[in-house]
Amino acid sequence: MGDMSTFYRTHTCGELRIGQAGQTVTLAGWMENLREVGQNLAFLVLRDFYGTTQIVLETEETVQTAKELNKETVIAVTGTVRERDSKNPKLLTGDIEVVPSKIEVLGRCRYNELPFPINRSREADESARLKYRYLDLRNPEVKENIVLRCQVVSALRNAMTGHGFLEITTPILTASSPEGARDYLVPSRKHPGKFYALPQAPQQFKQLLMASGFDKYFQIAPCFRDEDARGDRSPGEFYQLDMEMAFANQEDVFAVLEDVLPPIFAKYGKYSAASAAPFRRIPYLEAMEVYGSDKPDLRIDLTVQDATQLLSGCGFGPFEGNTVKAIVVTGFQGTRKQIDGLCNEVEVQSGNKAYWFRYDESGEIVGGIAKFVQPIKDQVVETLKLEKGSFVGLTTGTLLSAQKTAGVLRSKLGAFCPGHMNKETYEFCWIVDFPMYEIGEESGELEFCHNPFSMPNGGLEVLKQAAAGQVDPLTITAFQYDLVCNGVELSSGAVRNHDPEIMIEAFKLVRLEEEDVRKKFPAMYNAFCYGAPPHAGIAPGVDRMVMLLSGEESIREVIPFPMNKNAQDLMMGAPGTVEQKQLDELSIAVTHTEE
């Protein structure tokens, strides 16, 4: 047990075994339950961080003392350990019980009613769980995820240190940065009208460390982004294993993570199987074409086929003049109702409809859009290589929307169809060769696709050709990469653009001049002008990693004190109002408040 204090307890509630029968001990913890059998017999379950122990009350006095206490009161129990008559093989302490000579109240629970039963808190309404998170965390199942998180962070730290990386902390109060999500702003009292920002990531600081001559940096870094919640994204703050290496390329970064992550997934993961290094590398365009996603779940063996030539002229209205994608599923057993349900889920998630037909055991095309496909049956069977008993899911639209809808359909079909998804494994892959630029949805103009500080594939030369109109900027790829596991994007990284000349040229294509770059990124631009080494990095999300390891569906299950989907901390009442005096000190006027 290590150096546990013996002032309040001699042992923990998970520690006593049959060998300690006859000893006098003191235990301390929460009164989880009291089961009365008679006036002078009751069974009390005492729980602490380490486990539970049964306390047997055999006198009227001790039964009466316990009856007067509410559940969840903290007590210390001094008594004798003895062997249990009816042992409980499910409990580590199930061979013994403690007969108390003294019960002392250490922290009284003043409420008769709890918001939810502690051991079934996960069944409670989420807002109740978040408001009473300290009660929710008393549930050993909930606590387990937080313990797992601590173990994983410790293992990551040890592995990175073992690879020669230095853990360096970077500022939390910094300058607002124009790229990425919305900043959280912090007003400055000393400089009225000016604001600090909480960092969306330590991106610029870690690159500045490389320019300062540090060779390998890492940090379990808090990042702050004012964005909406999703199942795999917590609003407000989240943590990354942030790392950067000098004199390094893409392969060097891959080698580190391929060495660091598999042992951690093997040791702490819910599933015992994980991809071995080297992980598969899939170019972005291929991932979109074959899997309909830049974060493919490789546990699913289904792939997307192009059926544009085959079906766009079949007479079915939505296909005409559009891209058509097909997913063929062999051995599909779904009913019509299940197919409709699946298509409905796809539409809700992607905003686009999915279509379908079946090639049944008798060799007929039936169901869904069968009447349009039947006239070209032989061509369809041959092109899509259909076996009898196959189901064909179809999506349509612009190339990108047909691909993305097919990606959603693929993951739904994989999860629904037995035999097409091996759930009990961790499948890693690298998505590489991301486009450097894209046409912005809102602006309709050329914008950076991901990280503006990435090195373009082809360097200065390809950017100059794009500026001269000899190369389409949309065909330029960047040394950017994502690490994906089981359909979850664990991290984005890149080889950085460390040369000011290349940086200026890259920004010119999105209509920003040298002066703009110098204004927006003064420290980094100037540091690079003093000579910077080639460098590359990545930042896997710690919360997402622990979510995958624990097999949880929601990221909030692995964060000690998470916010709700509306970025509110219901327990602390944040965000909250502040006094006028505080606003005056900060030279702030509130112009609009929530209804």
- Tell me the backbone φ, ψ of residue 83, rounded to 5 degrees: -70, 140
Q: What does each C-alpha distance from 140 to 22, 118, 122, 147, 333 come to in angstroms?
A: 29, 9, 11, 10, 39
The distance between the two most distant Cα atoms of the chain, rounded to a whole number of Å, is 94
**Could you say which DSSP state residue 230 is in?**
B
Peptide bond into 115 cis (omega under 30): no
Residue 231 pLDDT: 64
The rounded distance, in Å, linking the Cα atoms of 92 and 574 is 40
Q: Coil, strand, or helix at residue 267?
A: helix
| pLDDT of amino acid 536 | 98
The three-state secondary structure class of 285 is: helix
State how far the Cα of 48 lies from the Cα of 31, in Å rounded to an integer.
9
Query: How far out from the chain centre does Cα 445 lie?
Result: 31
Upstream peptide bond of 278 is cis (omega within 30 degrees of 0):
yes
Contact 483, 539 (CB under 8 A): no
Per-residue pLDDT of the chain (595 residues; tens, 9 = 90+): 455 557 899 999 999 999 999 999 999 999 999 999 988 999 999 999 999 999 999 999 999 999 999 999 999 999 999 999 999 999 999 999 999 999 999 999 999 999 999 999 999 999 999 999 999 999 999 999 999 999 999 999 999 999 999 999 999 999 987 666 789 999 999 999 999 999 999 999 999 999 999 999 999 999 999 988 776 677 889 999 999 999 999 999 999 999 999 999 999 999 988 888 899 999 999 999 999 999 999 999 999 999 999 998 898 999 999 999 999 999 888 889 999 999 999 999 999 999 999 999 888 999 899 999 999 999 999 999 999 999 999 999 999 999 999 999 999 999 998 789 998 999 999 999 999 999 987 888 999 987 888 999 999 999 999 999 999 999 999 999 999 999 999 999 999 999 999 999 999 999 989 998 898 889 999 999 999 999 999 999 999 999 999 999 899 999 999 999 999 999 999 999 999 999 999 999 999 888 6
SS (H, E, C) 36-103: EEECCEEEEEEEECCEEEEEEECCHHHHHHHHCCCCCCEEEEEEEEEECCCCCCCCCCCCEEEEEEEE
- Cβ atoms of 107 and 29 closer than 8 Å: no
Amino acid at 69: L
Give yes or no for a contact between 264 and 155, defined as CB atoms under 8 angstroms apart.
Answer: yes
How far is the C-alpha of 295 from the C-alpha of 483, rounded, in Å?
Answer: 8
Task: Indicate the pTM of the whole model.
Answer: 0.90
* pLDDT tens digits, one per residue of 481-533: 999 999 999 999 999 999 999 999 999 999 989 998 898 889 999 999 999 99
- CB-neighbour burial class of residue 126 (10 A; exposed 0-12, middle 13-18, buried 19+): middle
DSSP type of residue 233: B
For 384-412, how does the pLDDT look when each residue is reduced to its tens digit (9 = 90+)?
999 999 999 999 999 999 999 999 999 99
Annotate 485-551 with three-state secondary structure: ECCEEEEEEEEECCCHHHHHHHHHCCCCCHHHHHHHCHHHHHHHHCCCCCEEEECCEHHHHHHHHHC
Q: What angle do CA 176, 180, 184 make, to 5 degrees?
A: 45
Convert the pLDDT of each residue in 226-258 to its tens digit: 988 776 677 889 999 999 999 999 999 999 999
The Cα–Cα gap between 242 and 381 comes to 49
pLDDT at 1: 45
Asked whether the CA dihedral 305, 309, 310, 316 is positive or negative, the reply is: positive
Residue 229: in which H helix or E strand, if any?
none
